[in-house]
Amino acid sequence: MRDEVRVLTVGTDVDLGTKSVAWTDDYNVKDFDWVFLDFHSLDKSVGDSTISDSIEGMMNIPDEDDIFKSIANGNNFIVFLPERRTIPKTDRTSISLYNLTPVGLNLVEESGSSIDYDTINPNWTWYFDSNFDWNIRIDRKEPAVFELFGRRFVYEFTTIVQNNSSELLATDILFHEITEPEVSTHQPEMNQLPGKLSFIPVIKNWSPNELIREILDSFTDMDTRIKTDQSPEWVNDWRLPEEDGLVRELEDLRIKKKEIESKIKEKEGELDEYEEYKALLWGNEGELEILVPTVFREMDFEVEGEVPHGRDGMIRLDDLNIVLEITGTKNSISDKKCRQLSTWVDEAEIDELDRDHTGILVANPDRETNPPNRTENDYLPPHLQNFLSKRGYKVLLTHNLFELYSEFRKGDLSNEDIEEMLRSDSLFVYGS
């Protein structure tokens, strides 16, 4: 098993027993655990000139395929941001960071100095501990699915630090592979790739060399004390007074740091899980079609999955099938969704003539408004209330489902209590 951390720095020379190369050298990013790409220093060295005027030889910038394959193998990339969107390559061409990732990266030139302290990733407070001048922000992309190497992935931009307008100044990009479950009624699984791609600005009074040392100290077990490849092995046999004690103390602190980081990661995972369920309050249709059946299953209901071009799910009770039509919209509930629910119930009855069927419209209307401020007659007009009531169908608002789920987790409501609500004669399940 390999214990040493393999580090590559491109565009910055760091004497840490690492490999440091120039942009024109040959190198293979897949050979290293940590790769630092210093576009900040490249931008500074070019200045008002061009790369072709400043550097002899052809630039060797890793492509998105090599970076992505490395991330899939657990390697980490740190990109030091330039201070402008593109760096002039010649009088007519330039290089950008867009192609470093399969999903593209858009930089926006904009100057500012304030940051939102509440958004700072806890692992980076040692660096982003005060306001700083910034000339670049990162255009956040919403999570989306893409295909590469015949496999499906989804990416997400996670915040390292934002400005006061909730715009990214530094970010991690994480990737998840989507795998199909063995049971067709289950939702696809998402497995996070072990590596990541980070984009970091270089703050005034910090050099890239110093920043690399601090990052390796913070995120690895690498000893970044002064040491070079040229140091002979026997140097380690020589000690200054109290050096051994300091080394032991440092090792103890690193062990404690690992334990604390592990606990932080565990708690962050639990917190992320809670945040996922809050999509019941604001989520759109796509998010809710995944989340709603999951919530019912966790409340101990048997739920069949979505039927392509048909119902969004079905709850199976002992003597009753409840067909689900799920919607999330910035506007009011549409006539179309109510009629679709009626169609899906009719189709389900034909498929199982020996069972009773009804329908529930699980809806998140006016989803950008805080639920207490939504008005019933605005998001569900009287003619639709009449349409659903005549057929014995019900409406379950997703913020009410959130409350039901919360009460269930606390133990204040049981599966039987919730089933009774689903069978009730009222139009709205658990309030309106």
Please write the tens of the pLDDT for every residue from 227-285. 444 556 677 678 788 888 887 888 888 788 878 888 888 888 888 888 889 999 999 98
Q: Give the pLDDT band (50/70/90) at residue 386.
A: very high
Model pTM score: 0.56
Q: Give the pLDDT band (50/70/90) at residue 432.
A: low
Report percent pLDDT > 90 for the chain. 53
Per the rule left: phi > 0, alpha: psi between -120 and 50, beta: everything else, 282 is alpha
Give the model's pLDDT for residue 226: 47
Domain ranges of the chain: 7-219, 238-277, 279-423
Contacts of 138 (CB under 8 A, 6+ apart): 105, 106, 107, 108, 157, 167, 168, 169, 170, 171, 199
Please write the tens of the pLDDT for every residue from 315-371. 999 999 999 999 999 999 999 999 999 999 999 999 999 999 999 999 999 998 999
Cα dihedral 21/26/30/36 (nearest 10) = 30
Has domain 279-423 been given CATH number 3.40.50.720?
no
CB 5 within 8 A of CB 14: no
Give the model's pLDDT for residue 2: 47
Q: Give the pLDDT band (50/70/90) at residue 183.
A: low
Please write the tens of the pLDDT for every residue from 104-155. 788 999 988 889 988 999 899 889 877 788 899 998 877 778 888 888 898 8
Average pLDDT over residues 411-429: 94
pLDDT over threshold 70, residue 17: no
Give the model's pLDDT for residue 3: 58
Nearest in space to 14 (alpha carbons), one of 198, 200, 213: 213
Give the model's pLDDT for residue 90: 86
